[in-house]
Amino acid sequence: MRNRTLHPALPGPGLKFLLLVGLLSLPMSACWESPSGPAAAPPGRVLIIAVDGATFRVIGPMMKSGQLPNFQALAQQGASGAIRSHQPLLSPRVWTSVATGKAPPNHGIENWIQKDGTGGVRLYTSLDRKGHALWNIVSESKEDVGVVNWLMTHPPEKIQGVMISDFAFPSISERRLDLAQSFGEKMVGVTDVAVRRPEDFEAGVVYPASWATRFSSWLDEPAPLTRIKNPFEAESLQESEETQEYLAQVFRNDVLSARAALAIEEELRPSLLMVYLPGIDRVSHFIWAGQEPRSIYPESMRLSLEEHRRQHQALRDYYAHVDELIGLLSENYGPNDLVIVLSDHGFEAGGQPDSQNPLPGIHESDRALNGIFFARGRGVPAGYRVKASEISVNDITPTVLAWRSLPIARNMQGKPVDFIQTKPLRFRPSYDGSPIERVKEEKPATEKEILEQLKSLGYVSETCDPDDTTMACGGPALEEAP
């Protein structure tokens, strides 16, 4: 599979000025409602680790047997339990709710794809998100933030800090198009299922430019971060070599995400760091049958005892790998900080088998509705057991804002959770008034643009007739002009 080409994007020199102008132009109704004015954010930093598809069906037994020491430490030092998601259980819509505090109809990301108005479909991108995410809010408070691999962050946003978008990772864009086409084939009213690439598809994938080169250097980094060997390189678990290589790359991408986040942490010590690890979800779609009793499948479809054992062990190895990554990522966060680890849904058996995936795992029914939630830090009661009725995916952003003594936007559907202690809540109507600047697509200059540049430099006369092809009017020598 080919790697994604990185296009470094130069930060806009007028970004701070634009943000200032945008903030000053907000209506008075968008200002702080607290009569005493904005309070300084309390000390303490926030780390959010998103573990797509992680479920207590695997974590519970592994914690009991001592195989997940970092999950166990989080549970002992803080709160743990289920978090309520919302149907349909599609990762882009759920993770955008986590990042915004809003329900999908309000934040605008409903699926992987959307109809393009011509009978076809196109990918959702960060441009489709309505309003501010948590990283925008903290960044506009003049604090450093880091965002790594979060879904729907392409094209990346120009924040105070670093954003490494989901399209920076090898094979992601190609796989995203394949996934989108499979959804398009099922969408009512679509006559052309060839997925349209949005205009911003070739935009840079890392912001700022100085981090793009650094990220490129990690793509072939051989050094592992954990003691767990890549189970999809050690032995064959899939009949398809293409699928096997994809799953091996999924493992490598999670390592790459963690490596990038650790570099951001070391250099910036950001007030907010958000890291997305999709690997458990990706591999569960292919080897979930190893977690179910063989008896639930028709005899003709069952894995052999050896296949079942190998798939069962491979997924547990992957959970142990993520557990070690969580330990590394949270190592520098002390009792005065806030560490949150969560997933967007669980997993279940089902789906339509095919040649690439004969016994798929899925997350479609309410049996997979609840994800995992762990939190520890200042204000989080040690050993607290969270019920799914106490927290939803919409509540993460409001909870973090309350924990940092920042106002909660009234246009958020989520609310701060009751079991994490915060100062008295404050509110404002919205955070969505100021502009969000994104990395632009890098397009070659058109002939018209080149001609205008030459005119501005005095190489071409301003009085040229459009049909004049002499050298002075940008004739044959135009192609050789600097």
Same domain, 211 and 297: yes
Gap between the Cα atoms of 19 and 161, Å rounded:
15
Residue 464's CB: how many other CB atoms inside 10 A? 16
For residues 356 and 400, membership in a common domain is answered with yes
Residues 207 and 266 in one domain: yes
Q: Are 400 and 143 in contact (CB under 8 A)?
A: no
In a domain, 2, yes or no: no
The C-alpha atoms of residue 459 and residue 442 are separated, in whole angstroms, by: 25
Same-domain status, 211 and 343: yes
Residue 171 lies in a domain: yes
3-class secondary structure, 251: helix
Domain co-membership, 373 together with 462? no
* Same domain? 211 vs 296: yes
Owner of token pair 């699926």: 111
Q: Write down the pLDDT at residue 104.
A: 97
Q: How many CA atoms lie within 13 A of 461 on its CB side?
A: 11
Here the tokens at position 225 are 């971060």
| Number of separate domains in the chain | 2
Q: Please name the residue ranges forming H helices in 302-422.
A: 305-330, 396-403
Task: Flag whether 97 is in a domain.
Answer: yes
pLDDT of residue 257: 96
* Residue 8 domain-assigned (yes or no): no
Helix ranges, 28-68 (H): 56-64
Q: Are 141 and 39 in contact (CB under 8 A)?
A: no
DSSP states of 284-321: HHHHGGGGS-GGGS-GGGPPPHHHHHHHHHHHHHHHHH
Domain hosting residue 391, numbered range: 15-443
Residue appearing with tokens 């094209």: 155
Largest CA distance in the chain: 83
What pLDDT was estimated at residue 461? 55
Residues in the chain: 482
Closest CA to 84 of 366, 390, 348, 388: 388
Same domain as 473, residue 391 = no
CA dihedral 258, 264, 269, 274 (to 10 degrees): -50
> Which residues, including other chains, have CB under 8 Å from residue 431's CB and lie 6 or more apart?
131, 132, 136, 137, 140, 409
Counting DSSP H helices and E strands in the chain, the numbers are: 14, 15
Q: Does 461 reside within a domain?
A: yes
| Whether residues 474 and 378 fall in one domain | no
| Residue 10 included in any domain | no
In a domain, 91, yes or no: yes
pLDDT at 360: 87
Given strand 161-164, what is the order of strands in its sheet? 206-207, 161-164, 145-148, 272-277, 46-51, 338-342, 370-377, 79-84, 384-386
The pLDDT profile of the chain, 482 residues, written as one tens digit per residue, is 333 334 333 334 443 433 333 433 433 333 334 333 444 445 699 999 999 999 999 999 999 999 999 999 999 999 999 999 999 999 999 999 999 999 999 999 999 888 777 777 888 899 999 999 999 999 999 999 999 999 999 999 999 999 999 989 887 766 776 776 676 677 667 676 666 666 666 678 999 989 998 998 888 776 789 999 999 987 677 667 888 888 999 999 999 999 999 999 999 999 999 999 999 999 999 999 999 999 999 998 899 999 999 999 999 999 999 999 999 999 999 999 999 999 999 999 987 777 677 788 999 999 999 999 999 999 999 999 999 899 999 999 999 999 999 999 999 999 999 999 999 999 999 999 999 999 986 544 444 544 555 555 554 555 555 444 444 444 443 333 33
- Reported in sequence order, the residue ranges of 143-200 that DSSP labels E, i.e. its strands, are 145-148, 161-164
Task: Give the per-residue pLDDT at 455.
Answer: 54
What is the CATH classification number for the domain harbouring 98? 3.40.720.10
The verdict on 379 and 469 lying in the same domain is no
CB 57 within 8 A of CB 346: yes
DSSP state of 356: S
Same domain assignment for residues 257 and 287? yes
374 and 276 in a single domain? The answer is: yes
CA distance 15 to 146: 18
333 in the same domain as 267:
yes
Among residues 346, 338, 347, which one has the least CA distance to residue 380? 338
Query: Model pTM?
Result: 0.82
